[in-house]
Structure 1
Amino acid sequence: MSEPHDETDLPLGPPEASGTPAVPEGAQTEGRRTHPLTAVVQGGLWAAGGAIGLFNAFFNGEGFGVVRGLLSLAAAVVGGLVIGLVAGYLRWRFTRYFIDGMEARIESGVVFRTSRRIPYERLQSVDIDEPFLARLFGLAELHMEMAGGSESRTTLRFLRLDEARQLRRVLLSRAHGTDVHEGQPIAEEQRTVIAVVSPDRIIVGTLLSLDFLISAGAVVLLLAAGFIIPDAWALLGGIIPAGFWVVQIVGTRVIAQWNFTLSRGARGLRIERGLLSRSSQTIPFERVQGIAVVEPFLWRKIGWQRLSVDVAGYGVSSEEESGVSDTTLLPIADPQLARAVAEELIPLSDPDAVLRVPASPRSWLFAPIGWRFRWVGATPRTFLAQEGWIQRTTDLVPHHKTQSVALRQGPLQRWRNVASVEVHTPPGPVDAVGEHLEAPTARAVALEQLDRARDLPPPSAASAPPVVTDEH
């Protein structure tokens, strides 16, 4: 899916060396500023933070009269706005970004100056976020991901949306060694839409999630108790956290995933989503370390699944347990679409086409019901592990992405003559573990996976199968 863009390019000059485009010398000494409205957006964010902090104090039981409450709210908003405007102006005034021949660089700081460097050869992806307040002014922030762990993300706030898109094209072109000359338009990469998840499906999926039903049910029960049972109004204090839980679920799963679009380009998959705040995220094919196929209990009745992906450098998101994060590949999908997308990223990973090694019947002591739903298996390209009877999860790990393999056996496992096999990947939603296999079988599985990880080369990108498209 192509994004609209104008023909205004950043001041790029002739390349200094083959495959490495250059810029005019002035860009390396003067740099470029972010948008002047950065200070206004920063002030609005601080004002909103002050108001939220005041509401939080009120909900925690701090007493406020009507007049005092209104004055406190006004003071929090005005104070936050003033502080945010001053801090935002200083940040804008002392921040410069540079697009040099070999790297991008961001210099910032009022008292202590810092210089953040992003070499093009280490640049993995460039994402665009449009926070709600910034979106009102037509601004966006740029996230640059480098190879290298938790400190690999660099953020540039705020640019005009068209400028952010143009800068993303420049950075990605340089990262892939493409020559970019002065005055040469950089066309948006051609993309094919794989799936568009409609808002009504997002809403229905949220309503059928167990945590939403539990939190909404708690609110209803507490309200009913306050009206029916004498002297039960003390229980109403639990409505606030339960209601906050409901709002959080709706915000992270409905509002954040609104108009979810997954598309495919030559360099990777792109995810665009969001109602109030919009985000555009790119997942390069070569950075995919594994996929988790999640089937919540009620979703299985109608055949829905959720796909999460291990991406090198992203790590574990604090929102992953809520079902939305940088690692959400598809929030809701039919089995056919989920299977096609998984095959696109990890070929030969069909759970129905694998010889399964089940958990030992002697492991019923550890999971009286769940042991029947645990198994591992391997195809010529992929290691698979499944567990869960309330929420079923199938983890897919390409053999050539295996970082290490562990064989674990605790005292109780030794007593039951069982052991567990762990296939390690970078931190993320994928947790490929074969729990409580027969001890000799677990050892054989671990050794075989080590051999596959060592000997099997990565698949050719040209051999990746086409994907089907879905617009539900």
Structure 2
Amino acid sequence: MSTAPPPLPSADHERRLHPWSWLFVLLLQLRQYLLPLVALLVFGQRGDRDPLWAQLGPLIVIAVLVLASVLQYLSYRYRIGEDGISIRSGVLARNRREIPFARIHNVVVHQNLLHRLFGVAELRLESAGGNRPEAEMRVLRLDEALALEQRVRHRSPAPQVDAGRTDDGTPPPLPETDERHLLLRMLPGEVVKLGLLSNRGWVMVAAALAALVQVVPRRSMDAFVEQGGRQAFGYASGLQPGISGLLLVAAAVLLVGWLALRALSVLLALLRYYGFELSEQQRRLTVSSGLLSKVRSSVALRRIQAWTLSETLLQRWAGRRQLRIDSAASQTHDENQQRGLRELAPLATPKACDALVRHLLPQVQWPPAHWQAVPLRGSWRLCITSLWLTPLLAAGLTWRWGYVGLLVLAWLPVALWTARLQMARIGWHLDGQHVALRGGWWRRWWRWAELDKLQALRLSRSPLDRLLGTSSVWLDTAGARGDVALCLRYLPQAQAAEVLQTLGAALARRKLRW
């Protein structure tokens, strides 16, 4: 995908989408109805006994989808003005939408393999309000999509600051320039390493099995599993390998399956992150990546609400971390669809992640020089489920198999030990610029937000908190949908009240500046 800035389009008459737009809308609809159509073709036909309308059912559905796609193309108009975009759509129900450039938080330019063959791209304009994109244009010429992205970048309002210092005494944001700075680039070797260190293959296999269970009738699935099991056991009995041979065969099958899943994870990582580049221009971050399907997404730096660093055990052993953000446009209307720019560094060294944070947030000290710890006396609360479930499980097993069931109680000291390690990892930091917290033992994470981005505060106490004299302070930001909540947990009651007062004062100063 070319990144050269095309000339900005001027305001003129209404425009149509690309002439092949109806085809891409049709393909999208066919993909959504693919499984029902396949099920209708495979399991819904009973031969010549079916009436004619039933035999032609799939063709009728496809014809209706083609007609709907053509009508959608003919009824879709857009006009690019000086301050926003005007969109008209609909055949029976006419809709007109005015989208100011200032409301657009994120611009996504998407190109799959078919888009690249036709020289077109799909454009999505996203904002903080609502659960859907403000506009989805399927499809535009690539140069028109890039020109519209450039227009949004130029027309979005820049934050107004004084020449010296801001109201709270901090240095003003860096001046905007037209120069593009490359902040991070992932080489193919790093993308392969990302696939090896992730579990994307497991997720894909689980999703495929779930879809298969929903489409294939249960009788056919049970018959297939039963027949396959009989053949496998019959083949194994004929070989007569013995116990050691069976263990070797089982280990070989597990190893082959593990290698296949890792290879699938690497393939998925290459398809998504190949050519990953993070760049900065006019205080706006842009990420482009993809092997067959190219995606280019951008978000203004001031729209970022919260930051998250994380590392799994495998990533920690490999000396790598992941940097994500929550932006005001990162809300989702579908659990399987992710909006907004989320990943600034899918995989990078800790030094590179810290340097990236310090560059993008020069007013924030990162990493913090000192972390506030939480009391360890209540660490047992992190394994409270194990504390009551393990004795019940041990009692049931002992009643069924005798004293051997008491071996389950050996899990209790392990659970208490891991809970104490996890509690020891919890920490928080608060200064005049940002609030940060950390946690996790097996999977470590760090999460923080600037004080100016806080929207609401909440102090909560559970029955366990009242028993132990602790409280939790919850912090809300716009579009905060991270893996972990922005919450200071297990603070002593007096300390939690003090933190709440400090953050409340910072929130009040922000409202006064507005």
TM norm structure 1? 0.74
Give the match's secondary structure for 1:111. coil
Provide the C-alpha distance between the structure 2 equivalents of 1:444 and 1:252, rounded to a whole number of angstroms: 47
Show the counterpart of 2:221: none
Counterpart CA distance in 2 for 1:43 and 1:266 is: 37
Question: Where do 1:144-159 residues align within 5 Å?
Answer: 144-151=125-132, 153-159=134-140
Q: Is the 8 A contact 2:330 2:339 kept in 1?
A: no
Indicate the RMSD between aligned Cα atoms, in angstroms. Answer: 4.1
Gaps of 5+ in 2: 47-54, 159-176, 209-224, 237-257, 384-415
Given that residues 79 and 87 in structure 2 are in contact (C-alpha distance below 8 angstroms), is that contact kept between their aligned partners in structure 1? yes
CA shift in 2, pair 1:3/1:336, >3 Å = same
Instruction: Give the CA deviation at 1:159.
Output: 0.6
Amino acid at match of 1:200: G
Matched-pair contact (CA < 8 Å) for 1:317–1:325: no
Relative to its length, the structure with more strand (as a share) is 1
> For the residues of structure 2 that align with 1:139 and 1:125, how far apart are their CA atoms?
20
> Using the alignment, how far apart are the partners of 1:323 and 1:125 within structure 2?
13
- Any idea what SS the aligned residue of 1:361 has? coil
Q: 1:376 is matched with which residue: 428, 431, 442?
A: 428
Q: For residues 213 and 50 of structure 1, do their structure 2 counterparts lie closer, same or farther at Cα, with a shift above 3 Å needed?
A: closer
Partner of residue 15 from structure 2, selected from 22, 32, 41: 32
Question: In the alignment, which residue of structure 1 is the partner of 2:361?
Answer: 346
The answer to whether the aligner puts 1:362 opposite 2:381 as a matched pair is: no
In the alignment, what sits opposite 1:332?
A: 347
Task: Note if contact 2:371-2:427 (Cα within 8 Å) is conserved in structure 1.
Answer: no
Q: Using the alignment, how far apart are the partners of 1:378 and 1:56 within structure 2?
A: 57
Aligned mates of 2:353, 2:70 — CA distance in 1: 46
Distance of 2:58 and 2:259 partners within structure 1: 24
- Deviation of 1:392 after TM superposition, in Å, equals 1.2
DSSP 3-state at the match of 1:434: strand
**Aligned partners of 1:48 and 1:77 also within 8 Å:** no
Alignment counterpart, residue 175 of structure 1, candidates 141, 146, 156: 156
Q: Percent identity?
A: 24
Q: Distance in 2 between matches of 1:149 and 1:258?
A: 31
User: Contact 1:319 / 1:325 at 8 angstroms: preserved in 2?
Assistant: no
Structural mapping, 1:458-469, within 5 Å: none
TM-score relative to the length of structure 2: 0.69
Task: Find the residue that maps to 1:150 and give its secondary structure.
Answer: coil
**Aligned equivalents of 1:455 and 1:339: distance in 2?**
29
SS at match of 1:256: helix
Secondary structure of residue in 2 paired with 1:283 = strand
Paired residue total: 410
For 2:500, the equivalent position in structure 1 comes to: 446
* Counterparts of 1:152 and 1:47, CA distance in 2: 21
CA distance in 1, matches of 2:80, 2:511: 36
Q: Which residue of 1 aligns with 2:446?
A: 394
Q: CA separation in 1, counterparts of 2:60 and 2:128?
A: 40
Contact kept, 8 Å, 2:199 with 2:265, in 1: the verdict is no
Residues 1:442 and 1:200: Cα distance change in structure 2 (over 3 Å): same
Unpaired runs of at least 5, structure 1: 13-22, 66-73, 178-187, 233-241, 459-472
**Higher helix fraction (1 or 2):** 2
CA distance in 2, matches of 1:245, 1:317: 30
Preserved contact between residue 86 and residue 96 of structure 2 (Cα < 8 Å)? yes
Residues in 2 aligned to 1:34 and 1:228: alpha-carbon distance in whole angstroms:
55
Task: Determine if contact 2:332/2:338 at 8 Å carries over to the other structure.
Answer: no
Are the aligned partners of 2:202 and 2:261 in contact in 1 as well (CA < 8 Å)?
Answer: no
Q: How do residues 79-228 of structure 1 correspond to structure 2 at under 5 angstroms? A: 82-151=63-132, 153-176=134-157, 189-209=178-198, 212=201
CA distance in 1, matches of 2:272, 2:117: 17
Query: 249-258 or 201-210: which moved more?
Result: 249-258
Please tell me whether Structure 1 or Structure 2 has the larger radius of gyration of its CA atoms. 2
1:268-287 matches, within 5 Å, as 268-287=284-303
Contact kept in structure 1, 2:198 and 2:265, CA below 8 Å: no
Query: What do residues 308-340 of structure 1 show as CA deviations (whole Å, max 9, x unaligned)?
Result: 1110132258579x9997322221111111112
Distance 1:63 1:107 in 2: 40
Task: Select 1:44's aligned residue among 20, 27, 30.
Answer: 27
